[in-house]
Amino acid sequence: MKKLTDNRSQNSPGEETGLVGEASAMKRKTNFDQYLEEQLKDVVFAERFKKAGEAWDVALELAALRKESGLSQKELAKRVGTTQQQISRLESTSYEGHSLSKFRRVAEALGATIHIELLRRKPKKSMSVAEDNPHYGRIK
């Protein structure tokens, strides 16, 4: 078990230390965090930010898998039958021209598989009645 000590005497005056100092440092937001938080309130920006994150994930996964396989971009390109520049584009977090056929060829060359999942967006809730055939207010 790690022992917590008070090491205030070792630090210069005004310097925060210990758990309290770490907690307050984690609570503070950077200017960028504040800016991003404000920008994410814009629905269009938030959607673009989400899509960029997805592209980032794909690019990083591809680059990691290639490196795990011990291949350079040029070596992978040769196995796939394309150019090093095309592999570089696929590994770029800003590239949006991915094709399923290209990914299949790259995955095959790396001895990997592709898993694509399509998920239905949550439908908007509409006002409805629980019964299929309600009889409210009808006189028989």
CB neighbour list of residue 103: distance below 8 Å, 6 or more residues apart: 90, 114
* Position 9 pLDDT exceeds 50: no
Domain ranges of the chain: 31-110
CATH code for the domain defined by 31-110: 1.10.260.40
User: What pLDDT, in 10s, does the model give residues 111-132?
Assistant: 999 888 888 887 766 666 666 6
Residue 45: band (very low, low, confident or very high) from pLDDT cuts 50, 70, 90: confident
60-86 pLDDT, tens digit per residue, is 889 999 999 999 999 999 999 999 999
CA dist 24 and 40 (Å) reads 24
DSSP classification of residue 132: S
| Confidence at residue 27, expressed as pLDDT on a 0 to 100 scale | 67
pTM of the model as a whole: 0.53
